[in-house]
């Protein structure tokens, strides 16, 4: 990507593109390997000490590594979950979260500044979408966090898994998200397996088909949140564009193409989508589909008039799915003390800063 000041974002380049860029500066191709190794470590240009000073100056004039800087981090006392606020090169703020699981650390990354999908329960979308993130900025979140945790916890600390579940709708920023997936998966890059990456989407149907055809078998998570169109329309404007049937048909295609099961996210919203009849309807809809349902009690958002149901309703809903042979679990709520839900931390920061 070329920024407004004409500089190239190195983290967003493939190894081939980086080589071309280095050649265009009149340098030999092998320098690109050295630069690439530094990028992987999250270093900035002035730290690339095996390059001559004059090359570093030349590089800095024409490029930067990535424009993502951790501005604030907050660690949950409950479970070690860590939230980050990042400042981008143009001053925009995004947020992310690192979750500690027994199978490794997972980083939740944002794909846009804000979001334009308008889901009624989500804080990320309250002010619409400011802009798309570049692939380098999505990768930059990972590079910045790896660096941050390595400084604090030692060289071996690093992110194992990535979920594209932060602010933004990944399939509304399709090209940059696909580029990011290829970069993060590249053996000469971060080399993170696609099986360790989940992409969560509200279900932009044509893009689901495109994704299935990319041969990037990431775990697909669909934010379903309803058993039928009428209820889904109450919660998610995207339901006016695509029916539940159309979403499910695209999921079937994804499963056929990738051999991977699909995850359905289902946030329980009191009085809207959590009756036993809703669970029954969802079960019949999903019957025969290779899938799993992640049930999430709604995280209340201050600006929204919606809340989660009581414990009994949550348990009954999951039980009802299980009785009907739909695999379902309750998603662990993490970082409750540090505003774990989407977009909440960024919003409170922006309010505090009055921007």
Q: Which residues are catalytic?
A: 95, 342
x/- mask, ligand SAH, residues 218-257, rule CB under 6 A, reads: -----x----------------------------------
Residue 59 in the binding site for ligand SAH (CB under 6 A) = no
Question: Least distance from C-beta 307 to ligand SAH, angstroms?
Answer: 10
What's the rounded Cα separation, in Å, for the pair 47 and 181?
26
Question: Least distance from C-beta 325 to ligand SAH, angstroms?
Answer: 23
Nearer of residues 258 and 299 to ligand SAH, judged by Cβ: 299
Evaluate whether 66 touches 137 at the Cβ level (below 8 Å).
yes
Q: Which stretch binds ligand SAH (CB under 6 A): 18-26, 31-39, 200-208, 252-260?
A: 200-208
Nearest to 79 by CA among 98, 53, 56, 60: 98
Evaluate whether 111 touches 164 at the Cβ level (below 8 Å).
yes
Candidates 342, 345, 346, 347: give the one binding ligand SAH (CB under 6 A).
342
Residue 298 in the binding site for ligand SAH (CB under 6 A) = yes
Nearer of residues 18 and 139 to ligand SAH, judged by Cβ: 139
Residue 201 in the binding site for ligand SAH (CB under 6 A) = yes
Residues 103-142 that bind ligand SAH (CB under 6 A): 117, 119, 121-122
Residue 198 in the binding site for ligand SAH (CB under 6 A) = no
Residues 263-292 that bind ligand SAH (CB under 6 A): 265, 267
Nearer of residues 96 and 136 to ligand SAH, judged by Cβ: 96
Nearer of residues 39 and 295 to ligand SAH, judged by Cβ: 295
Q: Which stretch binds ligand SAH (CB under 6 A): 17-25, 78-86, 195-203, 270-278?
A: 195-203
Candidates 79, 95, 137, 169: give the one binding ligand SAH (CB under 6 A).
169
Question: Least distance from C-beta 53 to ligand SAH, angstroms?
Answer: 43
Find the helix packing angle between 174-185 and 135-153, rounded to 10°. 40
Residues that bind ligand SAH (CB under 6 A): 117, 119, 121-122, 165, 169, 200-202, 223, 265, 267, 296, 298-299, 301, 341-342
């Amino acid at each position: 990507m070329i920024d407004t000041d004409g500089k190239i974002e190195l983290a967003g380049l493939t190894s081939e593109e980086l080589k071309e860029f280095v050649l265009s500066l009149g340098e030999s191709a092998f320098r690109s390997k050295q630069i690439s190794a530094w990028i992987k470590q999250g270093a900035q240009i002035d730290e690339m000490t095996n390059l001559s000073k004059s090359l570093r100056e030349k590089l800095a004039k024409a490029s930067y590594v990535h424009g993502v800087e951790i501005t604030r981090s907050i660690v949950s006392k409950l479970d070690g979950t860590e939230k980050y606020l990042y400042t981008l090169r143009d001053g925009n703020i995004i947020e992310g979260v690192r979750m500690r699981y027994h199978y490794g650390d997972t980083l939740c990354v944002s794909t846009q500044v804000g979001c334009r999908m308008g889901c009624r329960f989500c804080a990320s979308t309250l002010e619409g979408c400011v802009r798309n993130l570049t692939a380098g900025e999505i990768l930059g979140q990972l590079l910045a966090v790896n660096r941050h945790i390595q400084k604090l916890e030692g060289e071996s600390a690093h992110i194992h898994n990535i979920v594209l579940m932060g602010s933004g709708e990944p399939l509304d920023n399709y090209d940059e998200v696909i580029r990011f997936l290829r970069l993060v998966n590249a053996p000469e890059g971060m080399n993170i397996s696609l099986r360790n990456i989940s992409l969560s989407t509200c279900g932009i149907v044509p893009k689901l088909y495109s994704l299935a055809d990319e041969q990037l078998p990431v775990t697909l998570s669909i934010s379903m949140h309803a058993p039928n169109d009428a209820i889904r329309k109450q919660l998610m404007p995207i339901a006016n564009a695509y029916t539940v049937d159309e979403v499910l048909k695209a999921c079937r295609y994804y499963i056929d193409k990738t051999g991977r099961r699909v995850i359905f996210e289902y946030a329980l919203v009191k009085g809207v989508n959590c009756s036993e009849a809703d669970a029954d309807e969802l079960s019949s809809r999903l019957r025969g589909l290779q899938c799993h349902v992640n049930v999430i009690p709604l995280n209340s958002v201050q600006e929204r008039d919606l809340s989660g149901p009581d414990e009994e309703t949550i348990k009954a809903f999951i039980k009802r799915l299980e009785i009907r042979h739909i695999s379902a679990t309750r998603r662990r709520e993490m970082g409750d003390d540090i505003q774990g839900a989407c977009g909440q931390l960024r919003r409170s920061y922006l309010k505090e800063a009055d921007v």
